[in-house]
A and B are shown apart, each in its own frame.
Chain A
């Protein structure tokens, strides 16, 4: 790691395996990355690549089967009971489905106050004041809407309420799991801007998980690309989007649809579909669809290696070196 800062979140060899002993499905197959204080790390990939599972394993919503996750030096994977519950308030998560994220039978102000009530950290007037403050911060008028039930709100409003709730305990790290993908573009922009504002105001660090490349680029300082349970490339977002080193990243970017009439109609479309995680290919997991694959790719798994400061790629033949040849 060339970055001199100390990471807030340190993920090492994290793996999650589902299924039975005889038919294990390795959803996350040993990934390592750091998230530095105050930055936004984007995690992109297609469905089934393990990006959501990674987020859930960090929160211990699903149990990791291997590796460590350290938040401010404390290993989350070994904590239990009350200590785990307490540690979890340092990191929070926002989910994809805004409607299902809120209990339809509870009032908005109670939903936002839930973390406070769990820990009895503030009560009475102060609790009331804090809830009002949080709701106004996310653009929901507490006096008008505070007493309404969650089921009366639209997707965008529900997501705002979810954000307010997640901020109640002043977490350090916010994991956003596809938090805008269920929203309309016009609402999506509102939420992304709101997230950016709150990040600055609350000094948040974000792990932003999404499949939409444009959205991820917009919010992220660095981006990690996942394919079939592995990280194939990680680097500063502008560099990674302009000069992708991993062939998969390049295909992914090439397939992204731009709202621009002059954008090229996709020449290089990645053919086929990802192999099943039940039976991943040997060596490099992308080799079955990669145009540059050789025998080495089948026999030897490429490890993440730094090719430029802060830019790591897991490929035997990174595109830049390939071009130089």
Chain B
């Protein structure tokens, strides 16, 4: 397939810690096509953030082992030198982080921060860079961009700062935008604005987007496919509709049912998942979710299920005792 942008195969990231090896990502494979929006969903410690950073080639220089492969538009990220990776950052893939305040330099005018990227990476001259920076600020919906060009990050609200971060990410027209919890910590109304913006930019600029989040609400209407992660592994993947409505892995269902809904009545009892996410340093040979799973059998504790295909296109789940399919029934 020629429109394949990203191919991830058996990607694993292990940190060496004082307490022993910490397998943050334990063998993940998936593909991403051009112009596609993929959601990576998981709770804290599920490995979603480490996975996204590993794909970016952003991992600490020491105490970490990465194996497997992540090919971005033909470029193998795993094992690539810092120098080579610098060649793809910005132009092939760019990242939007959760906290806009820490990804912006607080003592530098925002215009300069965008200019710098343009001049260093694209070799633009001063005037062209400024014109392009203002254009970018306008593109991400910052009102009066000419004045804001001279503002410091501290003078902007959280939502505006996140827009600036997106503008910087878009500076070199990346083919893939990796957004790690881009709206966490923002107010609901601002959250909606930012997600709408990402949606608009995606189709306007013909990008692919990976949306990493813990919030199922964020990915429900914004993605075409979803990967659900638990304890460093993919436990279910498929089209957004399949994952939401025809999930087979009990964890996916538990995740969906445990979050309160605006539509349901007050005092509706929530279906909580008992226990808490496992300690990655003490993973057993079985399914990592088994200790919290209502359907777990003896086999689940002994043997880890691999991803098996379900009916839907690209739909797969890792479970020995999957939930019955609702496909075709409704």
- Please give the residue numbers on chain A whose beta carbons come within 8 Å of chain B beta carbons, in ascending order: 46-47, 154, 156-157, 184-190, 192-193, 196, 211-215, 217-221, 237-238, 241, 251-261, 263-266, 269-271, 273
Contacts and interface: CB of A to CB of B under 8 A. Distances in A.
B254 to A, nearest CB: 7
A193 B270 contact: yes
A310 to B, nearest CB: 14
B262 A253 contact: yes
A187 B157 CA distance: 30
A186 B255 contact: yes
A190 B189 contact: no
B272 A190 contact: yes
B245 A188 contact: no
Given A257-B215, A261-B245, A217 B44 contact: no
Contacts of B241: 261
A269 B188 contact: no
B315 to A, nearest CB: 14
Given A257-B192, A259-B256, 5 more contacts: A154-B276, A157-B276, A186-B43, A189-B260, A257-B221
B240 A258 contact: no
B260 A217 contact: yes
18 contacts: A185-B43, A185-B216, A186-B276, A188-B259, A190-B273, A192-B260, A193-B270, A218-B267, A219-B266, A255-B192, A257-B191, A257-B220, A259-B216, A259-B256, A261-B240, A270-B193, A273-B157, A273-B160
B258 A261 contact: no
Nearest to B188: A255
Contacts of A257: 188, 191-192, 195, 215, 217-218, 220-221
Contacts of B190: 46, 273
B41 to A, nearest CB: 10
Nearest to B158: A47
Given A189-B272, A196-B267, A47 B187 contact: yes
Given A189-B259, A260-B220, A255 B189 contact: yes
B188 A186 contact: no
Contacts of A190: 272-274
Contact of B188 (A185, A211, A259): A211
- 5 nearest A-B pairs in the assembled complex, by CB-CB distance: A257-B217, A259-B216, A189-B272, A46-B187, A189-B258
A185 B303 CA distance: 27
A186 B160 contact: no
Given A186-B272, A193-B270, A219-B267, A256 B262 contact: yes
Interface bin, chain B: 35 or more
A254 B262 CA distance: 10
A259 B244 contact: yes
B195 to A, nearest CB: 8
A265 B268 CA distance: 25
Contacts of B270: 189, 192-193, 218
Nearest to B256: A259
Given A211-B188, A217-B260, A189 B266 contact: no
A206 to B, nearest CB: 12
A212 B185 CA distance: 11
Contact of A221 (B221, B266, B269): B266
A261 to B, nearest CB: 5
Given A186-B254, A257-B191, A258-B220, A193 B272 contact: yes
Nearest to A47: B187
Nearest to A289: B189
Interface of B: 43-44, 157-160, 187-193, 195-196, 214-218, 220-222, 240-241, 244-245, 254-256, 258-274, 276-277
Nearest to B190: A273
B141 to A, nearest CB: 9
B244 A261 contact: yes
Contact of B258 (A188, A220, A254, A255): A188
Given A189-B270, A220-B266, A273-B157, A263 B221 contact: yes
A211 B263 CA distance: 16
Given A189-B270, A193-B269, A193-B270, A251 B189 contact: yes
A188 B160 CA distance: 29
Given A238-B265, A273-B160, A252 B188 contact: yes
Contact of B262 (A188, A213, A221): A213
Contact of A218 (B159, B160, B189, B268): B268
Nearest to B226: A261
A226 to B, nearest CB: 12
Contacts of B264: 217-218
A273 B159 contact: yes
Nearest to B262: A214
Contacts of A220: 266
Contacts of B158: 47
Contact of A263 (B43, B220, B272): B220
A72 B266 CA distance: 26
A260 B262 CA distance: 11
A1 B188 CA distance: 31
Nearest to B218: A257
Contacts of A241: 262
Contacts of B157: 273
A232 B221 CA distance: 30
Contacts of B187: 46-47, 211
Contacts of A189: 258-260, 270-273
Contacts of A184: 43-44, 214, 277
Contacts of B43: 184-187
Given A184-B214, A257-B192, A265-B221, A217 B262 contact: yes
